[in-house]
Every structure is written in C-alpha cells, then in structure tokens.
Amino acid sequence: MYTLICEESRKNSGVSQKEIETYIEIAKNAASKGGAVLMRNYCKINTINNKSFDGDLITNADIEAENNIVSYLKKETPHIGIFAEEGGISGPQSDLSWCIDPLDGTTNFAHGYPFFATSIGLTWKNKAILGAISVPFFNENYWAAPGIGSFCNSTKISVSKSKKLKDSLLVTGFAYDRHTILDNNYSEFCWLTHRTRGVRRAGAAAVDMAFVAIGRVDGYWERGLSPWDLAAGIPIVELAGGVIGDYKKGKFNLSEGRIIASNPFIQKELLAELSKVKPLESTNY
C-alpha cells in the first residue's frame, strides 16, 4: 500500500492531531492573506524585475504578500521556522518549517493572466505535512491536513477517475533554465501530447497540483521546482486520493524539484511513458 508522505511526516514529527487542526487554520489564513494582497495588486503592479534568470520575475506584489504572511506566521507560531521564496530562512532553526510561495505564477500575474496562487506548506525535515493554496482570481482556497482530508473552500475534493493515459488530460510546466539545458521538459511535453487527450501549461505549479486534487486534470509532472512550489500541494493531492512520486527515480524528495502527481490509476502508465522519452541533443532550436 502506498504510504502518504504527509501522514508519515505528521506521525514522525510528533505533532498531535490537535496541533494539526490549529496549524491548518493558520495555513488557510496565511494563504488567504497572501491571496488578498495579490488581488489588490492585480493589473496594478508597480515594479517588475528579473531575479536569477531572465523571465524569473519578482514584483512588488510578491514582496508585499510575503511580508504580510511572514509577519502573521511569526506572530501565530513563533516556534516554527520559515522558508520563504523571497526572504529565505528566518525564525528558529527547527525541524518544523513553514514553506511559503507568496506568488506562484509571477509571470502570469505580471501579464494579467489569472492563473496564480499563494502557497503555504508546513514541513517536517523537508517533508510535507499539511498545506493551503489560495487561487484568488477564482475564489478557490485549497487545503488539506492528515486526519481531516482535502478540500476546496468547504467542499471535500477527490482526484479524477480516469483509468487510462490515453483518456487523460495532463498539465506540466517549464523551468526558467529551459533555454540553456537539455533536460528542459520539451521532449516529454511533445511525447505525452501525442499519447493523451492533451497537455496544458498553466504556469503555476501550485495551481497545477490543486487542479489534480480536484480532478480537473488527471496528472501533472515537472522538473526544476523549488520546495515552496510543492510543499502545500503534496498533502492536498495525497489526501484527495492522489499519488506523489519522482518520475525519474520513483521515491519523491522535496529538495530534488522533480515531481509526478496524478490519480492512482494512470501513475504507472505515466511513469512508463516518461521513461521512454529521449532527451534533446541540442539547445539550438
């Protein structure tokens, strides 16, 4: 039987179920606070800059949302460390940590494209326990915790029932370094586009995982991701009946940035097809 990452992490962490219930409410509030900041700034942003790669953007909304979230979490849980996309590590150095992406889908946001989110995950030794994702343009708040389940707003959710890859709709993305390396997901995208009903690219990992959890898409894979992209989505997918893995090695590691998230029926076939993909021979295309 597949062992859920989030439930195993909760058990090993020693966090009680009562604490889980408290922490998930805090995570939901933090995600909502971030989402509210994003909507106040939607189509009104003042600054856009590049970070490490061209196209890896940061806006004033990223900073404002993260500052609000971090301030709230430090007040509510001063004993838990913080790992945030823009500000890095802060607070106490402990096994428990909040993993924060204030604005997942910054490029979308900068262009007024509505697929973006705020993502808040709680991790233990870099393994996800619980999470909340606000997709504010659609007024959807996804959240999940062990012993409680996976929800969108107040409605319990579950992954799709598609049994075969050929009948599935998938979603993926492309990392910021895609212009300079051969392992850039282009080959995988083309390969699976021909073996499914289609592959979509929304441009926000947190939204992609939320949509797997609610059954709008049947599976998601991607590489080049950071822990803050994934930490909240893992429990939301798993507790909605989905499965999480590393499509190159099988067992998932949050630090490696490579993930497959799907309903349990297509995972084996999806992994098999990904293993057949031949890498590109040149970045000159």
- The 10 Å CB-count burial string (b at 16+, else e) for 123-155 is bbeebbbbbbbbbbbeebbbbbbbebebbbeee
Lowest-confidence pick of 46-60, 93-107, 230-244, 246-260: 46-60
Please name the amino acid found at residue 189: F
Q: How far apart are CA 98 and CA 251, in angstroms?
A: 23
- pLDDT tens for each residue of 19-43: 999 999 999 999 999 999 999 999 8
| pLDDT computed for residue 281 by the predictor | 63
Per the document, the length of the chain is 285
Cβ atoms of 155 and 140 closer than 8 Å: no
Contact predicate 179/52, CB 8 Å? no
User: What are the extents of the domains in the chain?
Assistant: 5-156, 165-275
| pLDDT (average), residues 219-240 | 96
CA distances from 227 to 59, 66, 67, 127, 279 (A): 20, 16, 19, 9, 25
Of all residues in the chain, the percent with pLDDT exceeding 70 is 91
pLDDT surpasses 60 at 284: no
User: What is the pLDDT at residue 87?
Assistant: 81
Q: Do domains 5-156 and 165-275 have the same CATH topology?
A: no
pLDDT of residue 88: 85
Reported as a single tens digit per residue, the pLDDT across 269-278 is 999 999 999 8
Could you give the 3-state DSSP secondary structure of residue 23?
Answer: helix
Confidence of residue 250 (pLDDT cuts 50, 70, 90): low
Q: Of 143, 146, 142, which is closest to residue 129 (Cα–Cα)? A: 146
Query: Which SS3 state, helix, strand or coil, does residue 187 take?
Result: helix
Amino acid at 55: G
pLDDT for 1 beyond 50: no
* Fold adopted by 5-156: Fructose-1,6-Bisphosphatase; Chain A, domain 1 (3.30.540)
For residue 184, the model assigns a pLDDT of 82
For the stretch 77-135, pLDDT in tens is 999 999 998 888 988 988 999 999 999 999 999 999 999 999 999 999 999 999 999 99
The fold of the 165-275 domain, in CATH, is D-Maltodextrin-Binding Protein; domain 2 (3.40.190)
Helix (H) or strand (E) holding 92: none
93-112 b/e (C-beta count within 10 Å ≥ 16 → b): eeebbbbbbbbbbbbbbbee
Start-end of H helices in the chain: 5-13, 17-41, 60-76, 106-110, 186-193, 205-213, 227-230, 233-238, 267-275
